[in-house]
A = this chain, B = another copy of it.
């Protein structure tokens, strides 16, 4: 198998958490491939932002979508060809700001795709403005006197919306992250993985995360427990918060008959009238 790294020059800042995500994704895809998933059946969509650049670096098929819309695009891909494994790379501005609606509806529908959220707590690519996950008080170019909004909690928001698989990883814990991604992609239904991703240029959270992350011991007993852990004030827990099996959208809306070729359509119409 090829090493999944394209020949494109990588322009992430040195030390950016995106490198860890990139490594974990490659590792996970390798595992999937070893388990028998053809590379041809894995596709990605990505939003616009530093996170989206993974599109250029990861050597698999996909769509470099519009800012905020990659998850809508991904849903179209999946519905059109359910055999594909569809992975979306989103930013916190991208997927919880501009594209929040698509994220919550994909969860509600239990679309069988995976959203990997590069949570760097800011809009990296557009020079560090506050994002929906920026802390209260965060100073960026659009909030020079400090962000006045409290951040969403991505995990509990997605739990609330109905995501059937919800997890959190940390870009610096590549193996752990790769494992989570693997389960997320294998999960039948909507899987959401928040990745804590330090942004060395605008929101360097390495120290914070190194000190304040901890692995979950086990799957929380229920959603309430999961939510409480997601909102813990001391620790940012890493691991799987929720994993349930629920019917998936593309199967629920599937017609009783398969798609017809054009001659069959002609026949149908001729008879129909």
Contact = CB atoms under 8 A, between A and B. Distances in A.
How many copies of the chain does the oligomer comprise?
2
A268 interface: no
B109 A149 contact: yes
Contact of A160 (B105, B156, B228, B252): B156
Contacts of A228: 224
Interface residues of A, number: 23
A90 interface: no
Interface string A159-180: 0111000000000000000000
A251 to B, nearest CB: 9
A249 B149 contact: yes
A252 B100 contact: no
A110 B162 CA distance: 24
B150 A132 contact: no
A101 interface: yes
A161 B156 CA distance: 10
A108 interface: yes
Nearest to A156: B160
6 contacts: A100-B105, A108-B152, A109-B148, A152-B161, A153-B160, A156-B160
Given A100-B101, A101-B101, A148-B249, 20 more contacts: A100-B104, A100-B105, A104-B152, A105-B132, A108-B132, A108-B149, A108-B150, A108-B152, A109-B148, A109-B149, A148-B252, A148-B253, A149-B249, A150-B162, A152-B161, A152-B162, A153-B160, A157-B161, A224-B224, A224-B228
